[in-house]
Structure 1
Amino acid sequence: MPHIALVTLVVDDYDRAIAHYTQALGFELVEDTDRGDGSRWVVVRPRALDGTTGGAGTGLLLGRARDDAQRASIGAQTGGRVGFFLYTDDFARDHARMTAAGVRFVQETRHEPYGTVAVFEDLYGNLWDLLQPA
C-alpha cells in the first residue's frame, strides 16, 4: 500500500541536524550514507511510541542546502505555519524531556477536542506540534 516514507527537510549541516533531531527530539538515526559527492543520505525518524528503535512511519531526509536559494528556505519551508506533527502517547513525558533538552516551545500547552498540543521550534525555526491525540 502506498505511503509517504520520507519528507525532505533542508538543513545547514548534517551533523548539527543529526544531533538536534536525535538528542533534543529523541529521533533515531536510520541511515547516514556518504554519496561520494560531498553529500550524504541522512534519514532520521521518531522512535516507536514505546521508545524502541525500528519504529515504522514517515522519516525526515535531512538534505544539506547546496546553494543560496536552498539556504534561504532553511526554517521557512512551510511559510511560517506549523508544518510537522510529532505524535506522542505521553505528552507530559515528552514535553518535559524536550524542554530539558533545550527545545523551545513557542506556545503554551493547550487542550483541544482533538488532543493535547503545544507548538515548538526545531533547530532551524520550523514549527512543529507535539500532539497527544484525544
Structure 2
Amino acid sequence: MAHLHLTAIIVEDYDEAIDFFVRALGFELAEDSPSRTNDGRPKRWVVVRPPGAETGILLARADGEHQLAAVGDQHAGRVGFFFRVDDFDAAFLRMRDAGVEFLTESRTEPYGRVAVFRDIAGNRWDLLGPAA
C-alpha cells in the first residue's frame, strides 16, 4: 500500500498560516514541532490536514530570496490545490465569513460544484463539492 503523505506550501509566517488553515478552512493542526534546517538553523515542522484525512500539508516557512519569490506562486498562477467537501454551501459560507478571498462565484460543472479561492500565501485552490 502507498499514499501521498504530505505536500508542502511555502509560507511567510508559520502562525499566520496555521491560523488560516485551522480557523478559515477548518483543518486540524496535526503537528507543530521544533526542527532544524540542513545547516542547523531553527525552523518548525508544521503539518495541517482536513479532519480525518491521511494526506497533510507541510507549512514550510520561506528560507531565502528564492523561496520568498515562490510564496503564492507555486503553480504559476494556476489552481494547484483541490479541497473537496461534502457540504459545499456550508463550507463556502463558513470560509467566506472567515475572510477567505474567493476569486470566482460558485458554479456547477459536470464533476460537481466549484469556486476558486486564494490561500494565506496567495496560491489558488478549488473548493469542490458534489453536484447540487
- Return the alpha-carbon distance in structure 2 between the equivalents of residues 56 and 95 of structure 1: 19
Corresponding residue of 1:109 = 106
Corresponding residue of 1:8 = 8
Code of the residue aligned with 1:35 in structure 2: it is S
Corresponding residue of 2:45 = 41
Point out 4+ residue stretches in structure 1 off by more than 6 angstroms: none
Residue 109 of structure 1 and its aligned partner are, at CA, apart by 0.6
Code of the residue aligned with 1:123 in structure 2: it is I
Corresponding residue of 1:21 = 21
Corresponding residue of 1:51 = none
Corresponding residue of 1:76 = 73
Q: Structure 2: state its 5+ residue gaps.
A: none
Q: TM-score, normalised by structure 1?
A: 0.91
Q: Structure 1: state its 5+ residue gaps.
A: 48-54
Answer whether contact 2:103 2:116 (CA < 8 A) is retained: yes
Question: C-alpha deviations, 1:46-96, integer Å up to 9, x for none?
Answer: 12xxxxxxx123110011111000000000000100000000000000000
- Return the alpha-carbon distance in structure 2 between the equivalents of residues 16 and 104 of structure 1: 15
Q: TM-score, normalised by structure 2?
A: 0.93
Answer whether contact 2:29 2:47 (CA < 8 A) is retained: yes
Corresponding residue of 2:127 = 130
Residue 131 of structure 1 and its aligned partner are, at CA, apart by 0.3
Answer whether contact 2:114 2:127 (CA < 8 A) is retained: yes
Q: Secondary structure of 1:43's partner?
A: strand
C-alpha RMSD of the superposition:
1.0
